[in-house]
Amino acid sequence: MLRISNGRIYDPANGVNGAVRDICVNAGKIVAELPAAAKRIDAQGMVIMPGGIDIHCHIAGPKVNLARKLQPEDHRLDVHPGTAVTRSGTGGIVPSTFATGYRYAALGYTTAMEAAVTPIGARHVLEEFHDIPVIDKGFYVLLGNNVFLYDLLKAGRREDFRQAVAWWVNATKAYAVKLVNPGSDELWKGRRNANITDINENIDSFDLTPLDVIKAFIETVNDLGLPHPPHIHCNNLGRSGNYATTLDTMRAAEGRRAHIAHVQFHSYGGEPGKNPTSKGREIADYINNHPNITADIGQVMFGKATAMTADAPLAYLLRGISGNKWVNADTECESGCGIVPFTYHEKVYIHTLQWAIGLELFLLSKDPWRLVLSTDHPNGGSFMMYPRLIRLLMDRDFRNQEIQKVNQKAIRQTVLADKLARAWAEGQGAPRRRGGRRRHHLRRARRQGAHVQHAALPDQGRRRGHRRPRIPL
């Protein structure tokens, strides 16, 4: 029995907004009252709130360990020392098991869901979960490219398909079913790194389309009554114009529950092979108007990241963009795998656009219970960036300052430009030009005989290093 006294409580589900009161806990549950002799913790000056839940992250399993081994230099820079009561480990963008649990707990998170596990990797993940301290864990099992299930769908054996999905969920001890770029693995394996670009396109060797697969899983998962809807990584992730595929995928639910993973990466307009534009408003409007749809953001945060995905064709594409070390694999006809260390730069058009679209989706959402905060750790950035992301959302002045630092061409493609203009109109003032009062101010100084050290010019190295790459997404 435990009484927590004098803390300031925030509980939006029950309409408690900053009230100072006691919380009584008995056998792990909140109760109305406890005996006076119960253990007491004085929480004066502290905030008490529900534990955070990261519903989409990558923290355990074969691909996570591959990513750890791929980046030893990252771990050397961030040692997590042990103490009298905690174990040692390493941090970096893909922390070790012990560090993962401790660092989530330090942020106030109590649950993290590993978002992509092949059936054959389930035992590995469950074993690794035992090493992650403090927080609760669960995972989603990858079935969206499973050849056995495709055979059942092709033969029209829908009841057998339903039973097979139920068996796999039970046998692996998964919490939910995950689909990743349905149908793409067959094309990628059979046609030298090709990818499906239309969800009405036939899947190699099967008289099926990705749309058929998506509809079958949505129907089956809802019929089985699983606690979480089918968790869908849509086709065409990261490609210009992919918002149309995302809308078609959400329409396929036809009123049933469906969850769209890292929706920021699926909210791009434009034409394939050209720079993307923002379609955040269109995606947000659809989600706002369809209460059966939920999503997590997959917010990009500037700095180091690691692309870690079951979308093998995507990883193959990224390895050419990053120019970094990479891993690509198929997993026993069940799923693909790809790992690519990556860095997001604030002056690169595409990276800024991704950052801005995530903020757009957050700010345009009318129901925050259906649009969940995530960075798709470590794909969009580390979960350790969550405090900064929360400040970006909750502190308008800070957000406007950060908007002024990034690629302005990308910002003009988004609703953030309108929001910033309104802030200026309300008296905050336009931003100063970074690097000088006006153009050519340094050139004028040189004409007057001043000696200019080029290395000291404002942002000179950054501009040279972050020129927009001419690589189409």
* pLDDT tens per residue across span 262-278: 999 999 999 988 899 99
Could you say which of 388, 403, 418 is where a domain stops?
Answer: 403
Q: Cα–Cα distance between 41 and 357 in angstroms, integer?
A: 43
In a domain, 436, yes or no: no
Quick one: 43 and 64 in the same domain? no
Where are the extended beta strands (E) located within 310-441?
327-331, 335-344, 371-372
More confident residue, 326 or 424: 326
> Is 459 part of any domain?
no
Same domain, 36 and 104: no
Asked whether residue 41 falls in the same domain as residue 84, the answer is no
pLDDT of residue 471: 35
Most confident of 28-32, 296-300, 437-441, 461-465: 296-300
Q: What is the pLDDT of residues 189-246, one digit of tens each?
A: 777 677 888 999 999 888 899 999 999 999 999 999 999 999 999 999 999 999 999 9
Q: What is the pLDDT of residue 452?
A: 37
* Mean pLDDT, range 239-268, rounded to an integer: 97
Specify whether 162 is located in the same domain as 251. Answer: yes
- Structural domains in the chain (count): 2
* Within-domain flag for 71: yes
Q: Does 238 share its domain with 253? A: yes
- Print the domain residue range for 329: 52-403
Return phi, psi of residue 200, to 5°. Answer: -100, 5
pTM of the entire predicted model: 0.85
For range 309-316, the mean pLDDT: 81
Q: Which of 372, 388, 403 represents a domain boundary (last residue)?
A: 403
Last residue of a domain, one of 403, 432, 450: 403
Highest mean pLDDT among 71-80, 101-110, 454-463: 101-110
Average pLDDT score, the chain: 87
87 and 178 belong to one structural domain: yes
Rg (CA), the chain: 24
Between 208 and 328, name the one with better pLDDT. 208
Strand 89-90 versus strand 79-80 pairing type: antiparallel
What is the distance between the alpha carbons of residues 373 and 263, in angstroms, rounded to a whole number?
Answer: 11
Shared-domain flag, residues 95 and 39: no
**Looking at the domain assignment, is residue 455 inside a domain?**
no
Choose among 275, 271, 213: nearest CA to 242. 271
Question: What's the confidence (pLDDT) of residue 447?
Answer: 42
138-159 pLDDT, tens digit per residue, is 999 999 999 999 999 999 999 9
**Is position 408 within any domain?**
no
464 located within any domain? no
Q: Are residues 38 and 61 in the same domain?
A: no
Q: Which residues lie closer than 8 Å to 44 by C-beta, 6 or more apart?
A: 5, 6, 7
Confidence band of 420 (pLDDT split at 50, 70, 90) = low
pLDDT digits (tens, 9 = 90+) for 373-401: 999 999 999 999 999 999 999 999 999 99
The whole-number pLDDT of residue 215 equals: 98
- CATH number, position 65: 3.20.20
Q: Are residues 12 and 120 in the same domain?
A: no
Q: How confident is the model at residue 322 (pLDDT cuts 50, 70, 90)?
A: low
Q: Quick check: 172 pLDDT over 50? A: yes
- Report percent pLDDT > 90 for the chain: 70
* Residues 74, 43 within the same domain: no
Number of helices (H) and strands (E) in the chain: give both, helices first.
Answer: 18, 20
Q: Are residues 26 and 77 in the same domain?
A: no
**Higher pLDDT among residues 37 and 441, named by residue:** 37
Please state whether 120 falls in left (phi above 0), alpha (psi between -120 and 50) or beta.
alpha
Task: Examine residue 195 and state whether it is found in any structural domain, yes or no.
Answer: yes
Are 318 and 282 in the same domain? yes
Structural domain contains residue 424: no
pLDDT at 327: 82
> What are the φ and ψ backbone dihedral angles of 419, each rounded to 5 degrees?
-65, -40
For the CA atoms of 158, 161, 167, 171, the dihedral, rounded to the nearest 10 degrees, stands at -160
Whether residue 71 is predicted with pLDDT greater than 60 in this model: the reply is: yes
